[in-house]
Structure 1
Amino acid sequence: MSAAITRVETFPVAPRWLFVRIETADGLVGWGEGSLEGYADVVRTAVDQFSGYLIGKDPDRIEDHWQALTKGQFYRGGPVLASAVSGVDQALWDIKGKRLGVPVHDLLGGAVRDSIRAYGWVGGDDPNEVADHISAQIEVGLTAVKMNASGRMSRNGSVAELDGVVARVASAREVLGPHRDVAVDLHGRFTLATARRLAPLLEPLHPFFIEEPIIPENSHVIERMVEATTIPIATGERLYSRQEFLPVLQAGIAIAQPDLSHAGGISEVHRIAALADTFDVLIAPHCPLGPLALASCLQVGFATPNHLIQEQSIGIHYNKGAEVLDYVVDTEPLRFVDGSFERLTGPGLGIEVDESAVRDAAARWRTWQNPIWRHPDGSVAEW
């Protein structure tokens, strides 16, 4: 038995993240990220409750702890509890890798690749602005970007709204050329009917994929979206388990996007990836989050044959008050090389957290909430 867990701490930090720190009796420290944007304080309470179970336990029994935290209570599941488990799970894998002196991907079967392609976010609703943002991403070496299709979208998209989406994507394609990629995120803002009207209009521009064309509550109709277009359909950032991914895999999506901080951490996403592989589906983990979530994604990606590309939030428009690299001692492991991350070789998650920066940021925490959008008639709109 390894030295027991003696302390579990949580740190909500700018811009909207929650870090989890687990310490053992022999001084090993593991870090994880249970960020659930807009609900950091709620997840923090869940992790604090989990600590009552974790204190005194052997940190090496990762799977047993995962089972206990997800199935040990009568009421379970959902984004809050899954995010809390995610942060704990990542931290336990970090501890185990550090104890053994190996990166986590070695513990998942070993590396299947030496680098992972990354994409960056570009913002702006005006086509010229999108073009400028894409040029900036190209300058830092990225070969793929993702963009929102639209801002607030009416319930039955107008001609002008659909034309605007096509114009923005066309602007992106013009800058990127045929050898780089643009993914288009519908962000659940479209109805099924509107998304089906839009997709054929985008086909000549060859998007890398269309993401979350409908809200996850309506996953039972996503097969109709798959059948409406030749563009690969991606979804999954708001699905939290293998069981929730199974119906969309059966419906024919091309790319699964589990979030390592929402969907049960390294343990569950590794299983989701294996399940996706049986449907000939690639994974592209969702990660507009912090350095611990990103490092966890990369550890899974290096050990996963059907991994496609990695989202990352360095410079993303959401980051206000702090950046991804502000919380690490050495930025080199997360440096882009020809638009990719090179294989992490350090023990555990492969990055060193700047603990003083984290504690200072937590002392200045202000709760983040996404905006509430409304339609012109006053009813609530999808954000």
Structure 2
Amino acid sequence: MTEITDYDLYEVPPRWLFLRIETRDGVVGWGEPIVEGRAKTVNAAVEELMDNYLLGKDPHRIEDHWQRMYRGGFYRGGPILMSAIAGIDQALWDIKGKLLDAPVYELLGGRARDRIRVYQWIGGDRPSEVGEAAAEKVSEGFSALKMNATSEIRRIDSPAVIQEAEERLRSVREHVGPDVDIGVDFHGRVTKPMAKRLAKALEPHDPMFIEEPVLPEHNDVLPDIAAHTTTPIATGERMFSRWDFKDVFEQGAVDVIQPDLSHAGGITEVNKIAAMAESYDVALAPHCPLGPIALASCIHIDTSSPNAFIQEQSLNIHYNQTNDVLDYLVDTDVFEYHNGYVDVPSAPGLGIEINESYVEEQAERTVNWHNPVWRHDDGSVAEW
């Protein structure tokens, strides 16, 4: 019987944390446990879990390891613990696939599709000049885009703010036409009254969905927002377990869920969340503005989940100014996009080969990424 013998953690630019787990017979699995802006905190949580629950254990027993990591502590859930579990879980699936010489999706029930559609980010945190950027991405073959709706927005803001958001989306729609899908991310910046107004103003331009129209702590108001629009509502990137999603499913107001494979307990947990969503006729579009290990994990869930419809990916996203997704891979063709799709990987495990020497080199750099703290014009803190 093989067993887990060692692990290493690497904080690397632009804002990622990689986990390498090794077994006695030399099989290596990779995971991406990260809360953006809290890398050192998650690092400590991973060390605690690995040292107390994983070292010396059989890597095959993924479900049992997940249960022990989650239920072994009296206090459960939340972004730090669930992200630590997520990265470990990804690495264990990578190891198991390699030990059994099979891609992870084969262990999850096999293919439900041969490729998955991806969307491309346009604009930045404060969106501007998105029309021309959209046309450029469509010319590169993408058929789906996503953009932020607004920058800072007050609890009750002016008609001009609504008008500016509407004009940005209209510009994108005019540049790309009706055949391209456009997701609009509210980013949790918007309060309930402004979300209702924005949703109504943007609807004539047929967004693919409006994302995180309110913060997850206000998910109870989603039915009210849904009553003001026919645009699909998406949320879930700041929800961390099937129990967080349960109430949202029962409300019936959300059309697309976006669990993050590096935050919501990894492949094991998101596979269960996806199945729950299917039973409520809710589509799956995993959140992933992260690195190559997180993206590979998403693609395996997408491949085996019948209700997956599109995948976020961070190539050329505004956060990746120092390093990008492909920089850490030996073979970059695994994430080559064709006409807005990425093919299902065929290699064992997660199907990617990490360039270990490059990871070690980049881990020597100082990262220490934190999201900006925005303020309104009166000096009060705004949602980023």
TM-score, normalised relative to structure 1: 0.98
Partner of 1:177: 177
- Distance in 1, matches of 2:248 and 2:383, equals 21
Residue 352 of structure 1 aligns to a residue whose secondary structure is: coil
- Distance in 2, matches of 1:126 and 1:230, equals 24
Residue by residue over 1:22-80, the C-alpha shift from the partner in whole angstroms, topping out at 9 and shown as x without a partner, is 00000000001112100011000000111112110000000000000011011121000
Residue 138 of structure 2 aligns to a residue whose secondary structure is: helix
Residue correspondence of structure 1 range 191-230 to structure 2 within 5 A: 191-230=191-230
- Distance in 1, matches of 2:6 and 2:244, equals 32
Q: Determine if contact 1:9/1:48 at 8 Å carries over to the other structure.
A: no
Residue correspondence of structure 1 range 89-168 to structure 2 within 5 A: 89-124=89-124, 129-168=129-168
Q: Determine if contact 2:150/2:186 at 8 Å carries over to the other structure.
A: yes
Residue 95 of structure 2 aligns to a residue whose secondary structure is: helix
- Distance in 2, matches of 1:104 and 1:365, equals 33
Residue 20 of structure 1 and its aligned partner are, at CA, apart by 0.8
| Range moving further from structure 2, 283-292 or 355-364 | 355-364
TM-score, normalised relative to structure 2: 0.98
Residue by residue over 1:177-206, the C-alpha shift from the partner in whole angstroms, topping out at 9 and shown as x without a partner, is 111110000001111111101111111100
Residue correspondence of structure 1 range 253-272 to structure 2 within 5 A: 253-272=254-273
Residue 43 of structure 1 aligns to a residue whose secondary structure is: helix
Residue 158 of structure 1 and its aligned partner are, at CA, apart by 1.0
Q: Determine if contact 1:184/1:210 at 8 Å carries over to the other structure.
A: yes
- Distance in 2, matches of 1:248 and 1:194, equals 21
Does residue 250 (structure 1) correspond to residue 234 (structure 2)? The answer is: no
Residue by residue over 1:207-250, the C-alpha shift from the partner in whole angstroms, topping out at 9 and shown as x without a partner, is 00000000111112111111211000000000000010111122
- Distance in 1, matches of 2:363 and 2:308, equals 33
Partner of 1:81: 81
Residue correspondence of structure 1 range 306-345 to structure 2 within 5 A: 306-345=307-346
Residue 363 of structure 1 aligns to a residue whose secondary structure is: coil
Residue 145 of structure 1 aligns to a residue whose secondary structure is: strand
Q: Which amino acid in 1 is paired with 2:38?
A: Y
Q: Determine if contact 2:127/2:147 at 8 Å carries over to the other structure.
A: no
Residue by residue over 1:141-173, the C-alpha shift from the partner in whole angstroms, topping out at 9 and shown as x without a partner, is 111000000111111121110000000000111
Q: Which amino acid in 1 is paired with 2:89?
A: D
Partner of 1:361: 362
Partner of 2:11: 12
Residue 126 of structure 1 and its aligned partner are, at CA, apart by 6.4
Residue 287 of structure 2 aligns to a residue whose secondary structure is: coil
- Distance in 2, matches of 1:122 and 1:160, equals 22
Partner of 2:28: 29
Where do 5+ consecutive residues of structure 1 fail to align?
A: none
Residue correspondence of structure 1 range 260-299 to structure 2 within 5 A: 260-299=261-300
Partner of 1:47: 46
Q: Determine if contact 1:83/1:261 at 8 Å carries over to the other structure.
A: yes
- Distance in 1, matches of 2:127 and 2:318, equals 15
Q: Which amino acid in 2 is paired with 1:111?
A: R
Structure 1 runs of 4+ off > 2 angstroms?
Answer: 124-127
Q: Which amino acid in 1 is paired with 2:49?
A: F
Q: Determine if contact 1:33/1:293 at 8 Å carries over to the other structure.
A: yes
Percent identity, aligned pairs only? 53
Q: How many residues align?
A: 381
Q: Specify whether residues 338 and 75 from structure 1 end up closer, same or farther in structure 2 by C-alpha distance, changes over 3 A only.
A: same
Residue 15 of structure 1 and its aligned partner are, at CA, apart by 0.5
Partner of 2:189: 189
RMSD: 1.0
| Range moving further from structure 2, 159-168 or 246-255 | 246-255
